[in-house]
Structure 1
């Protein structure tokens, strides 16, 4: 049995690829490939995120169950995808955790670790937008470990100070290569895989030249919200509780579709800041290119960038009032009011009646909570 462990990185089309693999799971089985996910999920992020909290027991159980299913279906290859695996190793330098992860996979399983990487400054800006949109540093990076922290209110440089370690691709991927073996680890350049990363994956990872038989998805995952709405949301984070972050994200996504003349300037770094970051990381990028046989990242021209750069002017009072008006209107919708009521009732119950936490955990695990939220969404 062969295992392809796709570990990310984030913001390299990972979510779209995972949706593709999930939708085409039946077709993949015809080719002897089993796509491993928990029930009703399109990746195994939820399993990967438990590594820091509960250790490897859940991962080991999940993988052994998936191995049994693959063998039962006559598959020769298992694909498992979670960008959280790269993020954990990058941010926490958890070599020991990766060693334990490898040891939990039966020795007779041939492992291959795959990672896509993107020019670091572009990865930083895309991650910054996503994490401000979601509300919390670490959403998708550190999983449930972020439960006790406040929502992020900093700018892109504050964000860079937190996640710069994960942009050192060579250092992070060297850990995986040392644990799994040089021949077992491969890295592909995100930019070189464009315009169709899914096609790149199918052809170069699955060794299938003809992808026409697979269901093609025409969706864009994790789309950005406009700069003005993002800035307004960032400034509001000190007033938003962690438990209501997903609710707020849905509200702001609707607000973003309503506002007039949205500002879509998503160059969060100035040309000088961009050049400084790339200069610091150049030795790492060069080692990565050499050791993993990667094509060069797209070249950055500081002079041309400085000549064309238009800094974000900031959130004007007029635009702030417009966003605030639409925010207040959207959040008053019945569905959102009911959802907020459910969230606050659950939080109050946990604080005042902690012995009932098991009931709330059961409701969440059984899908009751999801059904209630789906019911409230009909009012939105």
Structure 2
């Protein structure tokens, strides 16, 4: 008998997050679950791309093609047991001492060798909450003329459900019982699917046919079963620990449901303050960050981007015909260049340079609308209006910005790092308005990215300097002007998402169109790169550096001042930041530069390593 006595099985469909989840699960099974690739069976629907199926085979898995079953979604999992009933598979299992199969949802993180105390019985964890409601289940069992089993208190709030109402994400089936389970499971699934009236008062629960039919199969066949507790199927989507959780026991399997964040890591909605749950999340995310399938990650990022843009309302008709005609010009086809930053990539230097050369730019056919900021020559008003949901004011600003534009202008330049900084703060209607404005022109959005570790450090240094109105509840208030260390800043989702270069790139591309977004690798001279990219012929000079970052002494003093943030007015915070900046400048090279520790760099890499290859393929390393 070999060391591994189980198969693992999963179902893969053509949904954007599934390939990444599948590769994460495969990595967990091999690294932590003690399941070799040869014992993993991936059942792919016919919708799954052939290239993805081939890559799974190359990985060493057995790939089975299955037709959609019943609802073509949740019920597809019922097709898995077929494979394990093939005579050749059964013979091989007998020869190798394989006792059973784990049926796994893709949204699991396996952190320990997969085992069950008794390999001859069915194992599953009762549902976390009474879904479907007990009344619905009782009605179904009565209609099927089945005696319902006993009751069980759910793990979440101790509400009652049937004791065979298992969460379908993690099931163990003995191979000796597979045929009986398969036949009964399908019989009851088809019974439920053909009787939608059983869900007349519970329409939202018809999607649980796979789960309910399994509960019915256990009863109708009098199959032996046992219960798993939360440590073998731990939910990450409920805001508290389950009743069966024990803080002195390790978590063997996490079930993260829809808690996968923009980086493809698990972001649970509760914490046990450094206990075994937090430790399990860290273990899983460390593994997920190692996942080396860039294609799966690319599919995931594009899936998130398309979902975000599909949610936008249609607001293409917000501009008047007269403005559109003026904006496009007599010959049409004017170009709109939106420079999105990012922060700390020479953005201020570019803005000052463009503002200082407005007349020369106009002579060459480039219109740089009058800056909207008194202190900084950028178009921050555009961002403020997108943030404040004032459509008429947004339209008015766009019209005013181009009102004095001469007829010979061929390109319009707007620049503000707020486009990147607040991209995820914009509501769907706001992004739709921005798209409506951009659609008038031949749009190109350009953005500069620097190495993530360097960018994260610079962003931290800038954000603790930034003032924020006292009592503000804006997303940035968690990091602006705060007395926090770098690691604390990385715990803030708003801060962390600024490292999601691929997320911004693909969502902007989905918004403006393919090939409408140009990303550049920041190499220290954004002004020169910008000029060469867009064919601007102005004197080549070294623009002065703006918004210099603080050194360590300045950061230490700034953090002390930030302890009084809520007691200081916005203007006083600005004044303090200027004074501390002057102090930091006076100290100069006598003060140590701020650099991330190796532990802090590791945190950044956990979130950004999978993005690196995607961005390397996208970014221009030198001007074209």
What TM-score bracket applies, with the shorter chain setting the length?
0.5 to 0.7
Post-superposition Cα deviations, 1:231-276, rounded to whole Å, max 9, x if no partner, equal 1220221224142111111222233344487422210x21233134
Q: CA offset at residue 6 of structure 1?
A: 0.6
- Given that 2:521 and 2:619 are in contact with CA atoms closer than 8 Å, whether structure 1 keeps it comes out as no
1:285 aligned onto 2:620 = no
Q: What corresponds to 2:500 in structure 1? A: 168
Q: CA offset at residue 199 of structure 1?
A: 1.0
Q: Give 1:173-212 correspondences, 5 Å limit.
A: 173-191=505-523, 194=524, 196-204=525-533, 206-208=534-536, 210-212=537-539
Q: What corresponds to 1:132 in structure 2? A: 464
Aligned counterpart for 1:220 among listed residues 537, 540, 545: 545
| Cα distance in 1 for residues equivalent to 2:345 and 2:452 | 11
1:29 aligned onto 2:362 = yes
1:85 aligned onto 2:427 = no
Q: Give 1:285-324 correspondences, 5 Å limit.
A: 285-290=612-617, 292-295=618-621
| Cα distance in 2 for residues equivalent to 1:124 and 1:149 | 13
What SS does structure 2 have at the residue aligned with 1:8?
coil
5+ long unaligned stretches in structure 2: 1-333
What SS does structure 2 have at the residue aligned with 1:188?
strand
Structure 1 residues 219 and 89, CA gap change in structure 2 (3 angstroms) = same
Q: CA offset at residue 38 of structure 1?
A: 3.6
Comparing both structures, which one devotes a greater share of its residues to strand? 2
| Cα distance in 2 for residues equivalent to 1:275 and 1:47 | 36
Q: What corresponds to 1:153 in structure 2? A: 483
- Given that 2:465 and 2:480 are in contact with CA atoms closer than 8 Å, whether structure 1 keeps it comes out as no
1:275 aligned onto 2:602 = yes
Q: What corresponds to 1:12 in structure 2? A: 345
Structure 1 residues 150 and 242, CA gap change in structure 2 (3 angstroms) = farther
- Given that 2:464 and 2:479 are in contact with CA atoms closer than 8 Å, whether structure 1 keeps it comes out as no
Q: State the number of aligned residues.
A: 280
What SS does structure 2 have at the residue aligned with 1:183?
coil
- Given that 1:7 and 1:114 are in contact with CA atoms closer than 8 Å, whether structure 2 keeps it comes out as yes
Q: CA offset at residue 285 of structure 1?
A: 2.2
What SS does structure 2 have at the residue aligned with 1:75?
coil
Q: What corresponds to 2:584 in structure 1? A: 256
Runs of 4+ in 1 over 6 A off after TM superposition: 142-145, 147-150
Larger Rg: 2
| Cα distance in 1 for residues equivalent to 2:412 and 2:356 | 16
| Cα distance in 2 for residues equivalent to 1:265 and 1:250 | 19
- Given that 1:190 and 1:197 are in contact with CA atoms closer than 8 Å, whether structure 2 keeps it comes out as yes
Q: CA offset at residue 63 of structure 1?
A: 1.6
Structure 1 residues 201 and 261, CA gap change in structure 2 (3 angstroms) = closer
Q: CA offset at residue 280 of structure 1?
A: 3.0
Q: CA offset at residue 18 of structure 1?
A: 0.4
| Cα distance in 1 for residues equivalent to 2:507 and 2:463 | 26
- Given that 2:466 and 2:574 are in contact with CA atoms closer than 8 Å, whether structure 1 keeps it comes out as yes
Q: Give 1:71-150 correspondences, 5 Å limit.
A: 72-90=406-424, 92=425, 94-105=427-438, 107-136=439-468
Q: Please give the TM-score of this superposition, normalised by the length of structure 1.
A: 0.66
1:49 aligned onto 2:410 = no
Relative contact order, higher structure (CA 8 A, sep 6+): 1
- Given that 1:93 and 1:172 are in contact with CA atoms closer than 8 Å, whether structure 2 keeps it comes out as no
| Cα distance in 2 for residues equivalent to 1:149 and 1:176 | 25
| Cα distance in 1 for residues equivalent to 2:404 and 2:589 | 51
| Cα distance in 2 for residues equivalent to 1:12 and 1:125 | 12
- Given that 2:444 and 2:517 are in contact with CA atoms closer than 8 Å, whether structure 1 keeps it comes out as yes
Structure 1 residues 53 and 280, CA gap change in structure 2 (3 angstroms) = same
What SS does structure 2 have at the residue aligned with 1:12?
coil
Q: What corresponds to 2:335 in structure 1? A: 2
| Cα distance in 2 for residues equivalent to 1:111 and 1:143 | 34
Q: What corresponds to 1:64 in structure 2? A: 399
- Given that 1:36 and 1:43 are in contact with CA atoms closer than 8 Å, whether structure 2 keeps it comes out as no
Structure 1 residues 33 and 294, CA gap change in structure 2 (3 angstroms) = closer
RMSD, aligned CA: 2.9
Comparing 175-184 with 125-134, greater Cα deviation is found at 125-134
- Given that 2:449 and 2:521 are in contact with CA atoms closer than 8 Å, whether structure 1 keeps it comes out as yes
What SS does structure 1 have at the residue aligned with 2:515?
helix
Comparing both structures, which one devotes a greater share of its residues to helix? 1
Q: What corresponds to 2:564 in structure 1? A: 239
Q: CA offset at residue 279 of structure 1?
A: 4.0
Structure 1 residues 44 and 259, CA gap change in structure 2 (3 angstroms) = same
What SS does structure 2 have at the residue aligned with 1:245?
helix
| Cα distance in 2 for residues equivalent to 1:99 and 1:227 | 42
| Cα distance in 2 for residues equivalent to 1:274 and 1:153 | 20
Q: Please give the TM-score of this superposition, normalised by the length of structure 2.
A: 0.41
Structure 1 residues 67 and 143, CA gap change in structure 2 (3 angstroms) = farther
| Cα distance in 2 for residues equivalent to 1:108 and 1:150 | 35
- Given that 2:387 and 2:426 are in contact with CA atoms closer than 8 Å, whether structure 1 keeps it comes out as no
